[in-house]
Amino acid sequence: MSPSETTPLLASELSPARPTSPSRSDQDTVQIEVEHPLGGLAANLGTARLHQLVTPQKRTAILAAVWTGVFLGALDSTIVATLMSSISSDFGASNQISWLASAYLLSTSATGALYGKLADLLGRRRSNLIALGFFTLGTLGCGLSSNMTQLIFSRFLAGCGGGGIMTTSSIIATDLFRLDQRGLVQGFANICFGLGAALGGPLGGWIADTMGWRFAFLAQVPLLIIATILVASFVDYKMEGQVTSKAELARRIDYRGSIALIWMIGALLLSLSFKSNLQYEWSDPRVYGNFIGFLVGLGVFIYIESTVPEPVLPLRLLKFRTPLCSVGISFFTSMIVFSVLYMYPLWFETVKLSSPTEAGLHLIPNSIALSIGSLAAGGWILKTGQHKIVIFISSALLVLGSLLMLFRLDTPLHEWIDIIPNGLGFSASTTAF
């Protein structure tokens, strides 16, 4: 039988000692072991379907806990986007300001795959708590930084948790719902993300205008502590295959692959940053040297992931058309979305000379579009089961939004509406995947 969307990709290579990812078809089962009493049930519930075992009330509490972190992560992303001009002026380091975004995205992309593995080995709760811990420490460090170097490092540290919050919350949601329900659930998750993004822009700008950019970071810390308490209290189930000892954990984590991944992505970002931000020539050793380092790191990463028993990123998944196309589309989608997110407010502050508050307000249409696109895509997928048409439409919307901002961002109306297709396209795309 030919593979389909619901065919387990690694079914032929699985063994009882190495369970599949939680994102499985409805026929698969998982071993559930509840760490705390779940509605009066016994501690060990045996083999059963998790989405049938967890009561609706418990499911709601779990999602509320993990989506609080998603909300705060989105809030932070747009807050930082509106603070970049104020920060660069404060430190007199406009040529380094793009590294606030680059450092965060570097650590996010380098650790995202690792959190997927940690969720299998350590469990959903512990991996999510680790992510929240890094994000909280990094955010606190940003508020206390006395120079640009400290701030960039703190954003890197926050990114080590930011990517994990998104990854583990998505995994937890897939644990709790059937495959045909997950598109709509992802839509609601994107609403939380969109709400946080909508509030972050104007809130960050207002804080920068009234209390200073440092308070925008420090004010997030108590909220993150609350999110940590919620996750520790409600995410209380275990999945089959978690490690039982530190020795087993050390043996099953792909440390070499994780280091090679960070090396590879870091070298590429350094090369591109030296070329674009500091205007070095391609002949400069700092540009081509780091690019060569990226190519070497890529080769090392491919070799390691092809030889280790439990890779952080199983390359054999890319032999299948669906995950390969998903990776490619996600790459280009992220490139468009994050460049707009960080540069759109900066354009208003530097070109139009708008205040941070006014610049942040221009992100609200995008955030509203995130919620609308998620619900529309999730509802369509739930009703029809069709993903491809959603992906085609979302890709077209992203291209349309980029073209509008490139050619027509010259009137007050276009300054508000041209970003809307990007929000619709991004949210619909993430819901479809």
Tell me the CATH number at 99. 1.20.1250.20
Could you tell me if residue 240 is inside a domain? yes
Question: Residues 6 or more apart from 399 whose CB is under 8 A from it?
Answer: none
pTM of the model: 0.72
pLDDT of residue 39: 35
My answer on whether 231 and 281 are in the same domain is no
Residue 30 has φ and ψ, to the nearest 5°, of: -130, 150
My answer on whether 204 and 126 are in the same domain is yes
**27: pLDDT strictly greater than 60:** no
My answer on whether 413 and 264 are in the same domain is no
My answer on whether 101 and 146 are in the same domain is yes
pLDDT of residue 342: 74
Whether 110 and 261 have beta carbons less than 8 Å apart is answered as yes
Gap between the Cα atoms of 222 and 228, Å rounded:
10
- Describe the crossing of helices 98-121 and 255-276 by its angle, rounded to 10 degrees: 170
How much is the average pLDDT of 29-37? 37
Could you tell me if residue 3 is inside a domain? no
My answer on whether 270 and 333 are in the same domain is no
Which residue range forms the structural domain that includes residue 299? 254-311
Whose CA is closest to 164, among 104, 92, 215, 90?
104
My answer on whether 295 and 236 are in the same domain is no
My answer on whether 351 and 286 are in the same domain is no
Gap between the Cα atoms of 336 and 366, Å rounded:
13
Whether 233 and 65 have beta carbons less than 8 Å apart is answered as yes
My answer on whether 223 and 322 are in the same domain is yes
Gap between the Cα atoms of 277 and 257, Å rounded:
29
Of 6-20, 32-46, 53-67, least confident by mean pLDDT is: 32-46
pLDDT of residue 46: 34
Confidence at 409, pLDDT banded by 50, 70, 90: low
My answer on whether 293 and 418 are in the same domain is no
My answer on whether 183 and 332 are in the same domain is yes
What proportions of the chain, in percent to the nearest 5, are helix, strand and coil?
75, 5, 20
**265: pLDDT strictly greater than 70:** yes
The string of pLDDT tens digits covering residues 284-342 is 888 899 999 999 999 999 999 888 888 877 888 778 877 788 778 888 887 888 788 77
The string of pLDDT tens digits covering residues 361-391 is 888 888 888 778 877 887 787 778 777 888 8
pLDDT of residue 395: 87
My answer on whether 298 and 340 are in the same domain is no
Whether 219 and 208 have beta carbons less than 8 Å apart is answered as no
Gap between the Cα atoms of 227 and 224, Å rounded:
5
Number of domains in the chain: 2
My answer on whether 274 and 415 are in the same domain is no
The residue ranking higher by pLDDT, 183 or 271, is: 271
The residue ranking higher by pLDDT, 426 or 19, is: 426
